[in-house]
Amino acid sequence: MEIPFTAKPRQDTGLYNAKLGIWLFLASEVMLFGALFSSYIVLRLGADAGMWPHGLMNIPIGTFNTAVLIISSVTVVLAWSYLKLGDFKKYKFFQSITLLCAAGFVGIKSFEYREKWHHYEVWFKEPLTLEQQPGLAGHAFHADNERRQIRQGQIPSLIGHFNYGHHEHAGYFWTLGTLKEKKITEIEFQPDQFHYRIPARIQAEMKKDGKAPEKPAPIKIKVEDIKRLSAFVPAHSTFFAIYFTLTFLHALHVVGGAIVIAWIWGPGAALWKTDPERYTNRVEVSGLFWHFVDLVWIFLFPILYLL
């Protein structure tokens, strides 16, 4: 049996079936992401003053990925336009760029995730003091609360990477429990240069005085002095919890969209010969979904990376 309006628009709505379908689906998607954005607002505004982490994201990588997604969005719409003009080859070309961008985005995202999973914060039972760690004096802290506390000479926690034993790197997802299980009694913690850098103005003054600014030195920490250890995973903080929830859901959409676009581009392309109008519609509908995924990222990028 022939299903009506798979290619031709209906008289009453002026739309072919799939187009109405994708818009209804996107409307429900708005509510799905909307609910999570609303969770973000609640967590963010509910956080105690100065407790929302800043500067834990890699901004150049995030910016690059934003550009990748924007490029893919324009290639999708160009590919569809060429199909409308009957230029199948150009459609193939532009849509292959879309697919490369999709793979690039997911690849970069997974690199970012893995970086986070062995990047650590260590909290001390008793805050470190600057007398104990003079190497950290003058190093500006990124998060507002930390900056305030280091001025008072108190260091409640440090961010960076660590080694143990004979320069063996820590694995993924370690906690204080992992250290105890492995019977590790001391770690060598390398605070991030990015977080604990000396402000440029002070660096310039130090150079004038002939004193080269020191990098923050690795710090030996006894495991018994550690209150908590967490990688940058959802359990680290509400920030990372909502970060991983939102970005993983978004990445799933990228993967799902790419699979559909790839299928239409590859094995599904046989339809172009038998029913070009319906084929063009398929490309349009998958494109609408792709633009929506780009649109979500347009909001995710500033709220998670920059603000």
The tally of CA atoms less than 13 A away on the side-chain side of residue 192 is 21
Q: Is 171 exposed, middle or buried (0-12, 13-18, 19+ CB in 10 A)?
A: exposed
Residue 66 or residue 238: which is nearer to another protein going by CB? 66
3-state secondary structure of 143: coil
Tell me: does residue 20 bind another protein (CB under 8 A). Answer: yes
Nearer to another protein, 176 or 295 (CB): 295
Identified binder of another protein from the candidate list 4, 21, 42, 126, rule CB under 8 A? 42
35 binds another protein (CB under 8 A): yes
Q: Residues 206, 210, 215, CA angle at the centre, nearest 5°?
A: 55
Interaction of residue 84 with another protein, rule CB under 8 A: yes
As a whole number of angstroms, the distance between CA 98 and CA 93 comes to 9
Decide whether 239 or 292 has the Cβ nearer to another protein. 292
Residue 212 binding another protein, by CB under 8 A: no
From 21, 50, 51, 59, residue interacting with another protein (rule: CB under 8 A): 59
Asked if residue 30 binds another protein (CB under 8 A), the reply is: yes
Q: Supply angle C-alpha 277, 68, 304, rounded to 5.
A: 120
**Closer CB to another protein, residue 78 or residue 176?**
78
Q: Residue 212 has which token pair?
A: 């080269």
Interacting residue with another protein among 1, 3, 27, 212 (CB under 8 A):
27
Stretch that binds another protein, among 78-86, 99-107, 151-159, 244-252 (CB under 8 A): 78-86
Any idea what the Cα angle at residue 244 is, between residues 51 and 196, rounded to 5°? 45
Give the position of tokens 């409640």: 156
Buried b (16+ CB within 10 A) or exposed e, 151-164: eeeebebbbbebeb
Residue type (1 letter), 233: V
- For another protein, the binding residues in 239-268 under the rule CB under 8 A are none
How far apart (Å, rounded) are the C-alpha atoms in residues 161 and 122? Answer: 10
Structure tokens at 240: 């990372």
Least distance (Å) from another protein to the CB of residue 82?
8
Size of the site for another protein (CB under 8 A): 50
Binding site for another protein (CB under 8 A): 9, 13-15, 19-20, 23-24, 27, 30-31, 34-35, 37-38, 41-42, 45-46, 59, 63, 66-67, 70-71, 73-74, 76-78, 81, 84-85, 277, 280-281, 287-288, 291-292, 294-295, 298-299, 301-303, 305-307
